Amino acid sequence: MPNEHPEIQGGGSLILAWQIKNKEVLVIGGGEVAAGRIVNLLNADAKVTVVCPRAGLNEEVAYRVERKQVTHIDRVFLPLDLEPQKNVAMVLTAIDDPDASSRIWKYCKKLKVPANIADVPPECDFYFGSVHRDGPLQIMVSTNGNGPRLAAAIRRQIGDMLPEGTGESIKKVGELRRKLRRVAPGKSTRDINKRMGWMSRVCDSWSTDDFNAMDETDMQALVEYYESGRVPSFEDIRIKPQDDVVWEFDGSFGWM
């Protein structure tokens, strides 16, 4: 009998969307690699502290420091930077000193703080991938540390294939989901499954262009179909009731 279950392919990573909003992240180093890491962290609303002598900051990192987008500690890393009361959730190193990087990694392992040591895959608890970003849409391509440049090329190819306005469509879907929860606020498993099932059918039936063109009135008209279980087309909800027509007869039909 053929196996109907997925085959296991070992050697991969568990790809997650790590929520670090308002969490403390320590970046050690201030060069080009650190600059890229900082952008990713700030886009995820993390609280970033950069440990690096001021002379080692490149133009972009110095700009982040000047704008107070990050906190800067003007020296090399010291163990006190990871004192428990600082609640550091993650450490990223991007320095040109392999021995120092390894010592930092071992110290992080001792404290059970997840760490990424730039360009040293065996000393990484997690990897950065190449990310396509369009509003709320994020698509990450990871080569598990084998080929970052190739990951970037693949990411660009994927981005080029996506329909224009995909990110805006996803925003509209989020707004629609929130509106639906207000209209049908039930919290039982049955209620949740019904909402999810109906939303799935809407997403399967409507195109990116449909969601882009949807306005507040269209959204309200759409959720009114929820109780019936029907999923209308975009054209259906755009059909407006005809205004009442008042006929005026002037006798031209030959009526008396």
Instruction: Provide the token pair at 249.
Output: 């007869």
Q: Consecutive 10-residue runs of the chain (256 residues): their mean pLDDT?
A: 79 86 97 94 96 97 97 97 95 93 94 92 85 88 84 91 90 93 91 93 92 91 93 85 48 48
Give the pLDDT score at 53: 97
Residue-range domain boundaries for the chain? 24-128, 130-162, 166-238
DSSP-derived letter for residue 98 is: H
Give the pLDDT score at 2: 62
Give the pLDDT score at 84: 92
Give the pLDDT score at 73: 98
Tally of CB atoms within 10 A around 111? 14
Report the CATH number of the 24-128 domain.
3.40.50.720
Instruction: Provide the token pair at 24.
Output: 């403390």
Catalytically active residues are 119
Tally of CB atoms within 10 A around 20? 16
Strands (E), 45-85: 47-51, 71-73
Range 130-162: architecture per CATH: 2-Layer Sandwich (3.30)
CB 199 within 8 A of CB 226: no
Identify which of 8, 28, 11, 14 has the alpha carbon closest to the alpha carbon of residue 140.
14
